[in-house]
Amino acid sequence: MPWFYEESKEINLNKKQEVMERVVQEASERISEDFKKVLLLPPDITRYHSGAGQLTEMIYKLLPKTCKVDVIPTLGQHVPHTDKENKWMFGSIPQNCFLEHDWRKGCKTLGEISRDYVKEVSEGKVNWPIPVEINRKVVEENYDFIVNIGHVVPHEVLGFANHNKNYFIGLGGKEMICASHMMAAVCGIENNLGQLITPLRACYNKAEKEYLNDLPHVYIQIVIARNQGGELVTTGLYIGDDLETYLMAA
């Protein structure tokens, strides 16, 4: 089950701040009482409208001043941010905190999702294994807290964006990204879009359980909608470290 969640027709700035304060407090009770090295994983600038950058800045300000904080926007294959773009999206977070994801050379292979499993969940449409590759800093830097922040929205590859998509595409390597997108294409975009668990999502859930199960992390899942005035507003914040957190948001 999620750690907790907040739902409303419009979650205002003060409530967002309260929720982020609770995230840090809950993490200090569930994960570590003393944060020394923290990794923040927000989406990239293509998800600017979700408000994820604002929440990332809030979390940064709530962490101890003595804590080393790294921020890796989950670019996938997108172009790295400029300093100006980082400032626009993430406000006062210092530029020296930001690291660029290198999907070609910056990843570590953890294993693979077997050909047999891929064939099973795709009902025979796909018969190749999917290598599990991720930005090596996630698994090699011994962070004592990882905050994975993102926007849950219908997506043509995973059914819905975010959750462990941030790890396996946003911070994924070339071979994993290519094998994944080809699998989704063969399964059919029209069959993926808006589905809670697509064949590829099932593969990612298995990969997370087998290879990332020991990460000291939490997901902050954002849901937005338009209000009566047509403005984008936050309507849901779902915080937790399990699949149910994603499912509630989706």
Q: Residue 201 has what pLDDT?
A: 97
Query: What span, in angstroms and rounded, lies between the C-alpha atoms of 81 and 227?
Result: 30
Which is more confident, 117 or 44?
117
- What SS3 class is residue 9? coil
Q: List pLDDT tens digits, range 13-51.
A: 999 999 999 999 999 999 988 899 999 999 988 888 999
Rounded CA separation 21/215 (Å)? 21
Q: Please tell me the pTM assigned to this model.
A: 0.95
Q: Which of 57, 64, 122, 124 is nearest to 86 (CA)?
A: 57
Alpha-carbon gap, residue 164 to 218, rounded angstroms: 11
| pLDDT score of 113 more than 90 | yes
What pLDDT does 247 receive? 97
Q: How far apart are CA 85 and CA 170, in angstroms?
A: 18
Flag whether pLDDT at 128 surpasses 90. Answer: yes
- pLDDT for residue 77 is more than 90: no
User: Which pair of structure tokens corresponds to residue 65?
Assistant: 């001043």
pLDDT of residue 79: 85
pLDDT single digits (tens) 90-106: 999 999 999 999 999 99
Look at residues 226, 225, 228 and name the one whose alpha carbon lies nearest to residue 237. 225
What dihedral angle (degrees, nearest 10) is formed by the CA atoms of 146, 109, 188, 245? -20
Enter the tokens of residue 74.
């989950």
Question: What CA–CA distance (Å, rounded) separates 109 from 211?
Answer: 10
Q: Give residue 69's pLDDT band: very low, low, confident or very high (50, 70, 90).
A: very high
What's the distance, CA 192 to chain centroid? Answer: 19
pLDDT of residue 220: 98
pLDDT tens per residue, range 136-146: 999 999 999 99
Q: Please tell me the distance from the alpha carbon of residue 147 to that of residue 24, in angstroms, as a whole number.
A: 10
Give dist(CA 86, CA 217) in Å, integer: 23
What pLDDT does 153 receive?
94
pLDDT at 78 over 90: no
- Alpha-carbon gap, residue 250 to 245, rounded angstroms: 9
pLDDT digits over 151-185, tens only?
Answer: 999 999 999 999 999 999 999 999 999 999 999 99
Count other Cβ atoms within 10 Å, centred on residue 88.
Answer: 13
pLDDT of residue 149: 97
**Which tokens sit at 10?**
């419009």
